[in-house]
A and B are shown apart, each in its own frame.
Chain A
Amino acid sequence: MATVELRFSALPEHVRTARLVAAAVARRAGVDESVLDELRLAVGEACSRAVALHQRNGVDGAVRVALTEQEKRFLIEVADEAGPTHAAGADATGGDSEDEDALGLAVITGLVEDVEVGNGSDGGVIRMSWPLSPVSITV
Chain B
Amino acid sequence: MDLSLSTRTVGDRTVVEVGGEIDVYTAPKLREQLVELVNDGNYHLVVDMEGVDFLDSTGLGVLVGGLKRVRAHEGSLRLVCNQERILKIFRITGLTKVFPIHNSVDEAVAATD
B56/A41 in contact, CB under 8 A: yes
A48/B65 in contact, CB under 8 A: no
B57/A107 in contact, CB under 8 A: yes
A107/B21 in contact, CB under 8 A: no
A15/B61 in contact, CB under 8 A: no
* Distance, CA A48 to CA B94, complexed state (A): 20
A96/B61 in contact, CB under 8 A: yes
* Distance, CA A103 to CA B62, complexed state (A): 11
B93/A12 in contact, CB under 8 A: no
> Which B residues from 24 to 74 make CB contacts under 8 A with A?
24-25, 54, 56-58, 60-61, 64-65
B81 at interface (Cβ–Cβ under 8 A)?
no
* Distance, CA A48 to CA B28, complexed state (A): 13
* Distance, CA A13 to CA B92, complexed state (A): 26
**What is the interface residue range for chain A against chain B?**
20 to 34
B85 at interface (Cβ–Cβ under 8 A)?
yes
A107/B61 in contact, CB under 8 A: no
Q: Which of B64, B85, B89: most chain A Cβ within 10 A?
A: B89
CB contacts (< 8 Å) of B17 on chain A: these are none
A104/B57 in contact, CB under 8 A: yes
B23/A44 in contact, CB under 8 A: yes
A89 at interface (Cβ–Cβ under 8 A)?
no
B60/A103 in contact, CB under 8 A: yes
A45/B57 in contact, CB under 8 A: yes
Chain B residue, CB-CB nearest to A37: B85
B58/A48 in contact, CB under 8 A: yes
CB distance from B27 to the nearest CB of A (A): 9
A→B interface (CB under 8 Å): 12-13, 15-16, 37, 40-41, 44-45, 47-48, 51-52, 96, 99-100, 103-104, 106-107, 110-111
The 6 A-B residue pairs whose C-beta atoms are closest, nearest first, are A110-B92, A103-B57, A100-B61, A48-B24, A12-B25, A104-B57
